[in-house]
C-alpha cells in the first residue's frame, strides 16, 4: 500500500517544471530564489509599461484578486444585512424621501418665485427709470 502524498504548492510545482526543463544547470537554492522573485513580481508588483508608467489602473494581480473576492463577499453581506433589517431600512428611506422631497419642493418654489420677483423688480425699476428720464 502506498502512502498518500500531500499535494505540492504552486511554488513547488513551478520549481519542478523549471528543473525538468533546464536539468541540473543551477542549484535548488538558486532556483528557489528565482521562483520567489518571479512570484513576487507576478502577484505583488504593480504592472508598468516599457516607459515605467503604471498600467491597468496600477493594481497588482494580488490586489485585483483580493478586490474581486472582497466585492463578492461585501455584496453578499450587504444583501443579507438589508434583508435582516428591512423595517429599519424602509423607515430610514421613508424619512430621507420625505425630508428630501419636502426640501426639494420648497427650494424649487423659492427659486421659481425668486426668479419671477427679480424679473418684476427689474421691470418696475426700468419703468421708474424711464418715468424719471421722461419728466426731465
Q: What is the pLDDT of residues 81-93, one digit of tens each?
A: 889 999 998 888 8
Helices 10-22 and 28-44 pack at an angle, to 10 degrees, of 130
The pLDDT confidence band at residue 13, using thresholds 50, 70 and 90, is confident
Question: What pLDDT score was predicted for residue 87?
Answer: 92
Q: Give the E-state strand segments of the chain in sequence order.
A: none
Output 121 or 19, whichever has higher pLDDT: 121
Q: Which three cell numbers stand for residue 92?
A: 430610514
| Predicted confidence (pLDDT) per residue in 40-57, tens digit | 787 888 888 888 887 877
Residue ranges of domains in the chain: 85-136
For the record, the C-alpha cell of 50 comes out as 516599457
pLDDT-derived band at 80, boundaries 50, 70, 90? very high
Interval 116-136 mean pLDDT: 79
| Cut 0.75: pTM above it | no
Q: Which three cell numbers stand for residue 103?
A: 426640501
Dihedral sign for Cα 99, 105, 107, 110, please.
negative
Confidence of residue 129 (pLDDT cuts 50, 70, 90): confident
Residue 16 has pLDDT above 60, yes or no: yes
DSSP string for residues in the chain:
-PPPPPPPPHHHHHHHHHHHHHTTSS-HHHHHHHHHHHHHHHHHSPPB-TTS-B-GGG--HHHHHHHHHHHHHHHHHHHHHHHHTHHHHHHHHHHHHHHHHHHHHHHHHHHHHHHHHHHHHHHHHHHHHHHHHHH-
Amino acid at each position: 500500500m502506498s502512502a498518500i502524498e500531500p499535494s505540492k504548492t504552486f511554488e513547488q510545482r513551478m520549481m519542478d517544471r523549471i528543473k525538468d526543463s533546464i536539468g541540473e544547470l543551477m542549484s535548488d537554492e538558486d532556483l528557489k530564489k528565482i521562483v520567489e522573485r518571479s512570484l513576487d513580481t507576478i502577484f505583488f508588483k504593480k504592472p508598468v509599461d516599457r516607459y515605467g508608467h503604471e498600467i491597468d489602473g496600477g493594481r497588482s494581480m494580488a490586489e485585483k484578486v483580493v478586490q474581486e473576492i472582497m466585492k463578492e463577499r461585501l455584496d453578499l453581506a450587504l444583501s443579507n444585512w438589508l434583508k435582516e433589517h428591512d423595517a429599519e431600512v424602509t423607515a430610514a428611506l421613508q424619512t430621507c424621501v420625505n425630508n428630501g422631497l419636502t426640501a426639494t419642493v420648497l427650494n424649487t418654489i423659492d427659486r421659481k418665485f425668486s426668479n419671477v420677483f427679480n424679473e418684476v423688480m427689474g421691470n418696475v425699476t426700468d419703468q421708474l427709470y424711464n418715468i424719471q428720464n421722461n419728466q426731465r
